[in-house]
Amino acid sequence: MKKNKFSKNWIIKQKRDIYVKKSKLEGYRSRAVYKLEEINNKFNLIKNNTLVIDLGAAPGSWSQFISRNFNNSKIISIDLKDIEPIKNLVHIKGDFTDEKHKKNIKNYFGKKVDLIISDMAVNTTGNKSVDALVTGELCIDAMNFAVELLNKNGSFISKLFMGSSFNEIVALGKKSFLDVDIFKPPSSRKDSKENFIICRNLR
């Protein structure tokens, strides 16, 4: 009963959500696109000719936004799910935490990249503390990967939730990057603990 009630409430929220409606009108695959757009409007991280790695990419709206708006950008993405084709995108279906996939991503460009974005999160269990902790671990893994692969002026964007690992993630960001900000985009739902960490310029 609880699950059915949650599903019904989610459907009602989706139907009322202006960002869901807007994404359909503009041909984007999910409302998440506006989070990246708002992050970029504030921090100006994405430009033409950008080399991008998109972690946890499905259904692909972040890659779609970059491909559509920034000329000659090249993107490699990874997710447990398939993604419908997007211009200038190569997609890997698999688990980012698997070392063989990390190696394939590194080999794709064969050089340092400009931007790594991560919207990775675990499937929610209903226990917000557990969800925040496990998603935090994904964020840390993605950040360590970014430190290895970004060029000196590169940027890293990742979802994280307020929780027990939040301060650890921010501290790791500050240890690795000169500029670190926490930002909750206006399109992020008010009742969500979701935030994004924006890291720029490697130390």
Catalytic residues: 159
One-letter amino acid at 201 equals N
Q: 13 — phi, psi (to 5°)?
A: -60, -45
The CA distance from 37 to 185, in Å, is 9
159, 185 Cβ separation under 8 angstroms: no
Any idea what DSSP says for residue 195?
E
Give 53's contacts (C-beta < 8 A, 6+ positions apart): 75, 76, 77, 105, 113, 115, 116, 117, 149
